[in-house]
């Protein structure tokens, strides 16, 4: 830290992404990426012609992709906002609705970026604890006096609220924006997109990083009431109107055109999730019922931190969080069936050695 840094940021604890080690080839089950490559159409879209066009700025409104997303979700282009990953959108939403002492509510165990943004933007934030079974009690988020951020399905638990529960939260907070972060919704949860025409305080955030195999391209989108979308555009035009590059826009459009390929991948991942859950349960693990492309599991036979380290030695990366409430759990991304077989074999070996 230099002496020049604004002292407001001295104590800022930055977000810590899952590790991306370069020392050897790992089976990566630690950052919820897709184990499957983008579709052939997506690959073809990132071609020489598009690369030659990099000398030109991209369309700052990403109109072609915006329209495709609007059509896919049954809304208008004015209800859709694109950004450089969904983290970019969450940042804009914090700036717009809960910065500088304004109130915001989120769960104690949830996506780690919410508290980082809350600190960065000096939000007055309140953490609402999950229940003992790690579920969210929707009633605790009803009629609060500030903005609400909920990951649905939640991370790292994988548990999801029903659409009725989400609607209750949105309906009882008419004077505040409710952000539903649906990074994992395509793996078996219900989307709140169908509520955006009914409520003017709902912002649904999704990403191409998980179900659409594009984590490296950085593309997120939000769907909401046109006035909320206009707020976000205002902030985007005040920071970086060209926040999505040409290659990503082209890849994103081709991705929407090949939606069936991605739907099939999600189904494969859900099938592998069921298999992996059953195998871990046979080994005595407790696994939360997940609606995401990861599972959250614990065993009383081995400490969570120890399992993480031993698997890493064997070339398998999973995610362990040191937070008190969940320190004996691990979050395991669902890979290919072959990768999950190796993971299970390694877990068996480690348990036998213990």
SS3 192: coil
**How far apart are the two ends of the chain, measured CA to CA in Å?**
43
User: Is 118 an interacting residue with respect to ligand PLP (CB under 6 A)?
Assistant: no
The 10 Å CB-count burial string (b at 16+, else e) for 92-102 is bbbbbbbbeeb
* CB nearer to ligand PLP: pick between 32 and 255: 32
CA torsion, ordered 11, 323, 352, 29, to nearest 10 deg:
-70
Q: Please tell me the number of Cα atoms within 13 Å of 151 on its side-chain side.
A: 25
Please tell me whether residue 99 binds ligand PLP under the rule CB under 6 A: no
The reply to whether 158 sits near ligand PLP by the rule CB under 6 A is no
> In angstroms, what is the minimal distance from the CB of 115 to ligand PLP?
13
For residues 184 and 92, give the distance between their C-alpha atoms in angstroms, rounded to a whole number: 20
User: How, if at all, do strands 329-333 and 294-298 pair?
Assistant: antiparallel
Q: What residues contact 71, with CB distance under 8 A and at least 6 apart?
A: none
d(CA 333, CA 18): 12
Considering only CA atoms, which of 121, 55, 50 is closest in space to residue 90? 121
Q: Which span sits near ligand PLP by CB under 6 A: 73-81, 85-93, 125-133, 275-283? A: 85-93
- The residue within the footprint of ligand PLP, chosen from 30, 86, 255, 328 (CB under 6 A), is 86
Q: Which residues between 220 and 239 bind ligand PLP (CB under 6 A)?
A: 220
Stretch that binds ligand PLP, among 80-88, 95-103, 166-174, 303-311 (CB under 6 A): 80-88
- Which residue from 184, 205, 201 is spatially nearest to 193, judged by alpha carbons? 205
Q: Distance between CA 348 and CA 260 in Å, rounded?
A: 36
Helix, strand or coil, per DSSP, at residue 146 = coil
Residue 151 found at the interface with ligand PLP (CB under 6 A): yes
Q: 202-207 and 220-224: which strand pairing?
A: antiparallel
Q: Is 18 in the site for ligand PLP (CB under 6 A)?
A: no
Asked if 183 interacts with ligand PLP (CB under 6 A), we say yes
Residue 319 beta carbon to ligand PLP: minimum distance, rounded to whole angstroms: 11
Query: Minimum Å distance from CB 29 to ligand PLP?
Result: 14
Instruction: Using alpha carbons, select from 12, 32, 48 the residue that is nearest to residue 334.
Output: 32
Stretch that binds ligand PLP, among 81-89, 250-258, 309-317, 328-336 (CB under 6 A): 81-89
Residue 209 vs 213, nearer CB to ligand PLP: 209
Asked if 215 is part of the footprint of ligand PLP (rule: CB under 6 A), the reply reads yes
Which residue from 33, 87, 167, 279 is in contact with ligand PLP, where contact means CB under 6 A?
87
Stretch that binds ligand PLP, among 41-49, 74-82, 116-124, 207-215 (CB under 6 A): 207-215
Closest CB 38 distance from ligand PLP, rounded Å: 15
For position 181 contacting ligand PLP by CB under 6 A, the verdict is: yes
| Site residues for ligand PLP per CB under 6 A | 32, 85-87, 111, 151, 155, 181, 183, 207, 209, 215, 220
């Amino acid at each position: 830290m230099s002496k020049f840094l604004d002292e407001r940021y001295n104590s800022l604890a930055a977000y810590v992404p899952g590790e991306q080690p370069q020392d050897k080839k790992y089976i990566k089950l630690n950052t919820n990426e897709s184990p499957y490559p983008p579709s052939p159409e997506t690959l073809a879209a990132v071609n020489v012609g598009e690369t030659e066009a990099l000398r030109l700025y991209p369309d700052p409104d990403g109109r072609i992709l915006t329209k495709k997303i609007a059509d896919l979700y049954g809304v208008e282009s004015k209800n859709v906002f694109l950004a450089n990953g969904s983290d970019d959108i969450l940042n804009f939403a914090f700036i717009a609705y809960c910065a500088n002492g304004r109130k915001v509510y989120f769960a104690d165990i949830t996506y780690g970026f919410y508290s980082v943004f809350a600190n960065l933007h000096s939000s007055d934030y309140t953490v609402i604890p999950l229940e003992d079974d790690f579920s969210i009690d929707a009633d605790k988020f009803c009629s609060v006096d500030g903005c609400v951020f909920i990951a649905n399905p939640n991370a790292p638990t994988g548990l999801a609220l029903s659409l009725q529960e989400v609607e209750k939260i949105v309906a009882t907070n008419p004077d505040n924006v409710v952000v539903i972060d649906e990074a994992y919704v395509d793996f078996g949860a219900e989307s709140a997109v169908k509520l955006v025409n009914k409520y003017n305080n709902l912002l649904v955030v999704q990403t191409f990083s998980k179900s659409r195999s594009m984590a490296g391209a950085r593309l997120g989108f939000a769907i909401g009431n046109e006035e909320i979308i206009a707020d976000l555009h205002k902030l985007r035009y005040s920071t970086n109107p060209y926040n999505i590059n040409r290659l990503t826009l082209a890849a994103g459009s081709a991705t929407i055109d090949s939606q069936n390929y991605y739907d099939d991948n999600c189904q494969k991942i859900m099938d592998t999730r069921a298999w992996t859950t059953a195998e871990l349960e046979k080994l005595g693990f407790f696994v939360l019922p997940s609606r995401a492309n990861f599972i959250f599991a614990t065993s009383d036979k081995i400490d969570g931190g120890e399992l993480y380290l031993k698997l890493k030695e064997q070339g398998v990366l999973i995610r362990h969080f040191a937070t008190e409430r969940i320190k004996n759990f691990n979050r395991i991304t669902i890979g290919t069936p072959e990768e999950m077989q190796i993971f299970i074999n390694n877990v068996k070996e480690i348990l036998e050695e213990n």
